[in-house]
A and B are shown apart, each in its own frame.
Chain A
Amino acid sequence: MLVDSPPEQRAETAPAPPTRRAVRALGLLIAVLVLVLVALASIAIGAKGLSLGQVWHGLFQDTGTYGDVVVDERLSRTVLGLLAGAALGLSGAVLQALTRNPLADPGLLGINAGASAAVVTAITFLGVTSPSGYVWFAFLGAAAVGALVWFLGGSRGATPVRLALAGTAISAALYGYLQAVMITDQAALGKMRFWTVGSLSSATDSTITQVLPFFVAGTLLALGLARPLNAVAMGDDTARALGADLNRTRALSMLAATVLCGAATAACGPIAFVGLMVPHAVRSFTGPDLRWILPYATILSPVLLLGADVVGRVVARPAELQVGIITALVGGPVFIFLVRRRRTAQL
């Protein structure tokens, strides 16, 4: 078609891609603005409402008034929400591309189960009691299970189905262990029942500094994978023909997804559905190009997570609903809607 078309017609169609690119770039800018607004809302709204003036005062002219203290408290929570949200969204997007399965979720690879099992071990057998003490254990658990899934899934010959099955199997065995420990140790149950729903309320500056390097490294690695993952999306044979190094891309993608999701889970506990929903929603208006999906997911996932956190604080005032519960209550119906809309859903 293009070869046959006369020169003037080609000249007419040529400007279209730059326009689309401009629209997408503009959309990204709007997304950033929305993110800033949600972040401000997350500082202003809560059991004690603050005006925007008070928020400004607390952020930039901190003099230790009551309002300023509240802002400080909510600031670390908001920062953690920003980081964890971006990490979950990115790891979800990378995993969906890697497994070529639009319904893949970081929980599918057993990362949540690994982190949970490590945290319960730390509480019961090693006497760790503070949430900032769990972080390393959760991260180690997530990383160990990530590596195990990679190995059992066939390492160099890993296929999407094998990875998913290995994740499910390891999750099952680990949840059995988790329940056995919680039944015999009531103190562990007392802590774990709050940890496993996923919450931002445990955020402290020390938690954030502990996981920050992993967030940064994982995000950079994931964003750099956009191009090779685009090739993987076309199927193994085509990707190989295009010169993509499939094994390296798969290994690096698993690494990025595990580091990101592991860090987020370590800091907040397992949070469902952010990693599933956001890349899905993003794909509907960016198309399949990961060079756009990944940045959009990075910016819009924290919007969802912080938004859910704000809702959780408002609906049950003065108590609060954990963010993990809100994301599942919103995400479940969205997931079902997506499944119903697709002509033939794939697993």
Chain B
Amino acid sequence: MLRAPGGLSLRLDVRAVTVVVLLLLAALAASVVLIGTGDFPIPAGDVVRTLLGDGNAGQEFIVNELRLPRVLVGLLVGASLGLGGALFQAVTRNPLGSPDVLGLGQGATAGALVMIVLFSGSAAQVTVGALVGGLATGLAIYLLAWKRGVHGYRLVLVGIGVSAIVTAVNGYLLTVSDIVDAARALVWMTGSLNGRDWEQVWPLLGVCAVLVPLVLAGGRGLRMMEMGDDVANALGVRVERVRALLMVAAVLLVATATAAAGPVGFVSLTAPQLARRLTRSPGPNLLPSLCMGAALLVTADWASQRAFGADQLPVGVVTGVLGGVYLLWLLVAERRAGRI
């Protein structure tokens, strides 16, 4: 607890702050290593020197033009997914209430597939299609779950239903496409950072710059809402309004991230859970989840490049398998602890 002379006080959770700092350091370290990884390896020292504007011309081109935007997209997408996932899990009060399960990723995929399969669209058009698909799905889920307020479980279940419908549409689009388009669609659907450049960085950065401070400011209300709607109401939180605002922010974050890199699986599901275990704090853990998402995605991308060679397998494969293994581990651990 910090106290200023004027009676102003600020609660400071030392453990949470430490976790945030450590995760940020981990994300930065992973980024430097990732920039140095590829067909033309660059030592970490040279990477840092080049980033600070002190490298030779060849390294400068590779680092600043080719690899830095990719890593930045990875960091921003991971951060958006981590934060969006934390928001969804807090609003639905359910660890399974992540955007993956609710079908936002599927909705964005449908938008992208329409562009790829029906219009053979350019990369930019695919991005716009994915954005529209993700936002429309988010809106549809919210409206369908609305019944004098939005109940957490109902939101999850309606999301599962919408997700199944959209999955069927996606399956249909894959069967009517020719094999080249299908292969392109599959890579997009898995979630990949290959070939991302500055064009993808700016919109992501803009959305994050606006929404992240907004969401973090709204985090107080969310903490009250974890105790139940009635308690939060009694404590002076306008529950439905806060929930609607945070949902819109979460959908925007996830849709923008998905439009940039495809629906990278399980980051939004696992990042908040991992962050919660590290901070040991029951709250929504917004900032730790954000940092965890960024660190996770960049590390997974590095792991995929190291294990399978440069640009062989998209990062979504690694996050998907890791996510599944993590869930299994969680299951065994919780069982041993006798919690489920």
CA distance A328 to B165 in the complex (A): 6
- Pair B332/A161 contact, Cβ less than 8 Å: no
Taking a contact as CB atoms under 8 Å apart, the answer to whether A172 and B323 are in contact is yes
Say whether B179 contacts A190, CB under 8 Å. yes
- Determine the interface band of chain A, counting residues with CB < 8 A from chain B: 35 or more
What is the distance, in angstroms, from A199's C-beta to the closest C-beta of chain B?
Answer: 9
Task: Kindly state whether residue A57 has any CB partner on chain B within 8 Å.
Answer: no
Bound CA span A104–B186, Å: 28
Contact partner, B164, options A152, A166, A328, A346, Cβ 8 Å = A328
The interface centre, meaning the residue of A174, A194, A321, A332 with most chain B CB atoms within 10 A of its CB, is A332
Whether the Cβ atoms of A197 and B165 lie closer than 8 Å is no
| Contact in complex: A172, B266 (CB < 8 Å) | yes
Select which of B162, B175, B265, B340 is within 8 A of A336 by beta carbon: B162
Residue numbers in A under 8 Å from B154 (CB-CB): 339-340, 345
Query: Which one of B94, B147, B172, B325 has the greatest number of beta carbons of chain A within 10 Å?
Result: B172
Chain B residues near A169 (CB-CB < 8 A) = 324, 327-328, 330-331
For the complex, give the distance between the alpha carbons of A203 and B205 in Å: 52
Contact of A333 among B147, B157, B161, B189 (CB under 8 A): B161
Neighbour of B171 across the interface among A324, A331, A336, CB < 8 A:
A324
Counting CB contacts under 8 A, is A241 at the interface? no
Docked CA distance A196–B167 (Å): 11
Decide if B335 touches A329 in the complex (CB within 8 Å).
Answer: no
Contact A347 B94 (CB under 8 A): yes
Known: A172-B327, A345-B154. A272 touches B168 (CB 8 A): yes
Interface residues of chain A: helix, strand, loop or mixed (majority): helix
Residue from A166, A177, A340 within 8 A of B321 (CB atoms): A177
A26 CB to closest chain B CB, in angstroms? 33
- Asked if A183 contacts B161 (CB within 8 A), the reply is no
Q: A198 — nearest CB in chain B belongs to which residue?
A: B171
In residues 71-105 of chain A, which contact B (Cβ within 8 Å)? 103
User: Is B313 an interface residue when CB atoms closer than 8 A count as contact?
Assistant: yes
Confirm or deny: A325 has a beta carbon within 8 angstroms of a beta carbon on chain B. Answer: yes
Whether, in the assembled complex, A251 has its beta carbon less than 8 Å from a beta carbon of chain B, the answer is: no
Q: Is the CB of A173 within 8 A of B324?
A: yes
Output the least CB separation between B161 and chain A (Å). 4
> A162 vs B144: C-alpha distance in the bound complex, in angstroms?
29
* The 3 A-B residue pairs with the shortest CB-CB distance in the complex, in nearest-first order: A173-B324, A176-B320, A328-B168
- Which residues of B approach A to under 8 Å, CB–CB? 94, 96, 144-145, 147, 151, 153-154, 156-158, 160-162, 164-165, 167-169, 171-172, 174-175, 179, 182-183, 186-187, 189-190, 265-266, 312-314, 316-321, 323-325, 327-328, 330-332, 335, 340
Other than the given A171-B324, A176-B265, A179-B320, 9 more pairs (CB < 8 A) read A162-B331, A175-B324, A183-B317, A193-B174, A197-B171, A321-B172, A335-B160, A335-B161, A345-B153
